Homo-oligomer: A and B are copies of this chain.
Amino acid sequence: MKTEEEIKIPNATAKRIPLYYRYLKTLQESGVERIKSKEFSQLIQVPSATIRRDFSHFGELGRSGYGYDVSYLIEVFSNILNTKVEKRIALVGAGNLGKALLNNNFRRNENLNIVCAFDANPEMIGQKINGVTVRPMSDMKELVRKEGITTAISTVPSSHSQEVVDQIVDSGITAILNFAPGRVKVPEQVKIQYIDLTTELQTLIYMDENFTSRKHFNFSNQD
C-alpha cells in the first residue's frame, strides 16, 4: 500500500468520498459487513469501475472474488475525511436559511457542529436557536479563536456577501461555504465553496427540457 502523502487524489474522486462514506455508514448500521463494487454501484448510482478506480487511490482496499470489508472502508475514509476530529463551525447570517441549518446542525454527522452563530441585525442578537445563541458580528474574531472554529457557513445575501466574507477571513477561518452566489475575493489560502440553489435549479430544468430521454444528469444509472 502506498503511503498517503505521496498520492495525488483527483478532484473528481475527492468529491465522491463523502458520498462513499455516508453510504458505508448506512450499510454498517444495517448490519452489512461486506460490499462488492457492483452492489455499491447500484446503491449510490456511480459506475462500479469508477468506484474501484476511486478506491484504488487509497491502496488495495478490497480482495478479489470477495469485495470490500465495510468496516475497513469506513476506517480508511474516516481517516481521509478526518472525522475523528470535531469540526467546529460558525454560522454567519441567522435568517430563514441560517435557522434551518442551525436546527438541523448536521445531526447525522457527530463531528460537524455549528457551535456559534452571528448576525448583523440587532434584533436577532441574543436569540437562542437549537441551543446556539446568535451574537453580534463584532464578537466573531474573538470567539473563532477561543472556540477553535475552523470553518464558516455564510447565508448572508449577495449584497453583503463580500464584506461579511472579509470579516470571516479576518477572523482566521480558511474554509467557507457560501450560500450567496456572487463570487467574492478571498486570499489564496482560503477555500470557498458556493452553494447556489438558483443555478442548480436552472441547470436541472435546462437538462430536463433539452435532454429528455437521455442519460441521467449526475451519473448514469447503468451497471
- Tell me the A164-209 residues at the B interface (CB within 8 Å): 174-177, 181-183, 188-189, 191-209
Question: Does A96 have its Cβ within 8 Å of any Cβ on chain B?
Answer: yes
Q: A200-B193, A209-B82, A221-B188 are in contact. Are A22 and B181 (CB under 8 A)?
A: yes
Q: A19-B199, A206-B14 are in contact. Are A96 and B106 (CB under 8 A)?
A: no
A19 neighbours in B (Cβ, 8 Å): 181, 196, 199
- Give the interface size class of chain A: 35 or more
**Residue from B191, B205, B216, B217 within 8 A of A204 (CB atoms):** B191
Question: Does A126 have its Cβ within 8 Å of any Cβ on chain B?
Answer: no
Q: A100-B100, A188-B213, A213-B189 are in contact. Are A195 and B200 (CB under 8 A)?
A: yes
| A150 lies within 8 A of B205 (CB) | yes
A210 neighbours in B (Cβ, 8 Å): 9
Q: A19-B196, A99-B100 are in contact. Are A177 and B204 (CB under 8 A)?
A: yes
**Which residue on B lies nearest to A208, using beta carbons?**
B175
Question: Does A151 have its Cβ within 8 Å of any Cβ on chain B?
Answer: yes
Chain B nearest Cβ from A190, distance in angstroms: 8
Q: Which 6 A-B pairs have the closest CB atoms?
A: A96-B100, A175-B208, A18-B202, A18-B199, A97-B100, A193-B204
Given contacts A96-B104, A99-B100, A177-B204, 10 further A-B contacts (CB under 8 A): A82-B205, A109-B198, A151-B201, A174-B208, A176-B204, A191-B216, A193-B217, A194-B218, A195-B195, A195-B197
A: which residues have CB within 8 A of B?
9, 14-15, 17-19, 21-22, 26, 43-45, 80-82, 87, 89, 95-97, 99-101, 103-104, 106, 108-109, 112, 150-151, 153, 174-177, 181-183, 188-189, 191-213, 216-218, 221
A-B contact pairs, 14 of them (CB 8 A): A18-B202, A18-B203, A21-B202, A82-B206, A97-B97, A99-B100, A108-B198, A177-B197, A177-B204, A188-B216, A193-B204, A193-B217, A194-B218, A195-B197
